[in-house]
Structure 1
Amino acid sequence: MAITCGRTTPFHSVRHAMRLLETIAVHPDGLREDELAAMTGLPPARLTQLLRLLDRDEYVRRLPDGGYVPGDALVRLGGSGESGRLERQQKLQQALDALRDAVGAAVYLGRYTDGELEVTHTSQAPALPTVNEWVDFRSAAHATAIGKCLLGQLDHDGRRDHLARHKAARLTSRTITDPRVLLSALDRQPATMPVLDIQEYAVGTLCAAVPLTAGSAVGCLALSLPVGQAHRLRKAAEALNRQAAPTLLSLTV
């Protein structure tokens, strides 16, 4: 089965959103859209799209005169202590749920911490179930889109160290088990393309993952679809990239 995904821009929407928020945050009296365009250098169409997105999620608030100021969500997320932590967790889950509905697939948030893969959050629905974790994801990084996306963000030594500690077992007939072949595939993976799992982890399941960069943290967003919906994978993966900003913002602000 040959499935290709078009070229995408994994980080641009998040970087642009962060630039907007940083600009608005230091101008509490508000900035109009034309002023934001001049100060951020963002194209007008992209700026309008991001402002609508950020306004919808309450990161910014539009004033009656057309200016934009920090929104309630941005203020609350900046809080410290337990209330701030709970607010960030709630906002993150809301972002994942919205992303699930937008891409029409179960979604996952993966991280690589202290040498191990971890799926920290998921969002599913009755018609959009997550993958049955029949093999612990931590030992199946070689066979999952999440794992390959996370390994791809490590340096060569980090990848080799992980594969030395977690032997690449054959999970399906499509699983890559030769470390040299896997390392070569990771080296060739373009940063602008989603990482795919075409029935490598589980027969009947397709997955795609895109990196999330928040400082030095290694993370990714992923989605899964049944093989019967293979025709949707390309567009779903591209949508995952385009709409990743609210998820990353909830991790970084």
Structure 2
Amino acid sequence: MARGGEPTLIASVQRALRLMEVVGEHAGGATAKTLARRTGIALPTTYHLLRTLVHEGYLEKLDDGAFILGEQVSGLHVAGQNQGLRSQVRTVMVGLREDLNAAIYLARYHEGEVEVAEIVDSPRTPRVDTWADFREAAHATAIGKCLLSGLSQEERADHFLRHPPADLTPRTITRIRDLVNRPVRPVVSDSEEYSLGTACLAAPVIGASGPVTLAISFPARKLADTKSYVRPLRTAAVEISRTLAVAGRFPAAG
């Protein structure tokens, strides 16, 4: 840091970024002389920076001598979009955690498996102890049951053929017929079916390819408060649904 708390700026980095900005302003690309003139950077320095940027993949030089943005920039753009989407989703989840004093989960059914993509918890609201893999415990968790409700009965049957339901607690439901024919509900629950002392609620999220769910976990002793949890959970699920619908995709794993 410079004196007075001002950051120490690297002039060569600033020049390189400015060159990339100006290249981006020219749809058909721009020559080194054009870039030097537009940026005010000396031509020899411009050539040096351009060679470096081409070598690193941030620019590409065309046969006519013009420079265009390279594949590395496209990769950064995609990564930035995904990080922005993930940040939007997590913001909703953090708000829900604070409102309900519960751990929050975002999960999807992807390539035939339950995948928990995001968890927002805290020391005050710890996540459930995942002593059994969620992929093997869809029958016993609100997350899994909600995701499976987005499948056809044939797809549910196939899931349980691959992952036979096991007794995880005395409350676990393992009869496949009951699991396959389970009616679709706006909010799905489990009460100590996965872990004794823990209850969960899950609501479907719409707007992304394949079943997605937003869920919460909390001590089973708070089951009497379930009604107060439902509206905020569904509201948050709708908000995330809109976010994913606008983005047109599910946030990639970090």
Whether TM-score is above 0.5 comes out as yes
Contact residue 93 and residue 236 of structure 2 kept, 8 A: no
Task: Indicate yes or no: 2:92 matched with 1:95.
Answer: yes
Shift of 1:151: 0.5
Match of 1:237 in 2: 230
Deviations 1:167-201 (A, max 9, x none): 100000110111012223x2x233xx310101100
Contact residue 100 and residue 107 of structure 1 kept, 8 A: yes
Question: 190, 199, 206: which is aligned to 2:192?
Answer: 199
Shift of 1:80: 4.6
1:162-201 superposed matches below 5 A? 162-184=159-181, 186=182, 188-190=183-185, 193-201=186-194
- Is the radius of gyration larger for structure 1 or structure 2? 2
Shift of 1:102: 2.0
Contact residue 199 and residue 223 of structure 2 kept, 8 A: yes
Task: Indicate yes or no: 2:102 matched with 1:105.
Answer: yes
Task: Indicate yes or no: 2:116 matched with 1:119.
Answer: yes
Shift of 1:215: 4.4
Task: Indicate yes or no: 2:219 matched with 1:226.
Answer: yes
3-state DSSP class of the match of 1:167? Answer: coil
| Distance in 2 of aligned mates of 1:215 and 1:203 | 32
3-state DSSP class of the match of 1:122? Answer: strand
| Distance in 2 of aligned mates of 1:124 and 1:216 | 26
Contact residue 104 and residue 236 of structure 1 kept, 8 A: no
Q: TM-score, normalised by structure 1?
A: 0.64
**Structure 1 vs Structure 2 CA RMSD:** 1.6
Greater relative contact order (Cα < 8 A, sep 6+): 1
| Distance in 2 of aligned mates of 1:210 and 1:245 | 9
Shift of 1:116: 0.4
Contact residue 205 and residue 226 of structure 1 kept, 8 A: yes
Contiguous gaps of at least 5 residues in structure 1: 1-78
One-letter identity of the residue aligned with 1:205: T
Deviations 1:29-70 (A, max 9, x none): xxxxxxxxxxxxxxxxxxxxxxxxxxxxxxxxxxxxxxxxxx
3-state DSSP class of the match of 1:201? Answer: coil
For these two proteins, the number of residue pairs brought into alignment is 171
One-letter identity of the residue aligned with 2:133: D
3-state DSSP class of the match of 2:211? Answer: strand
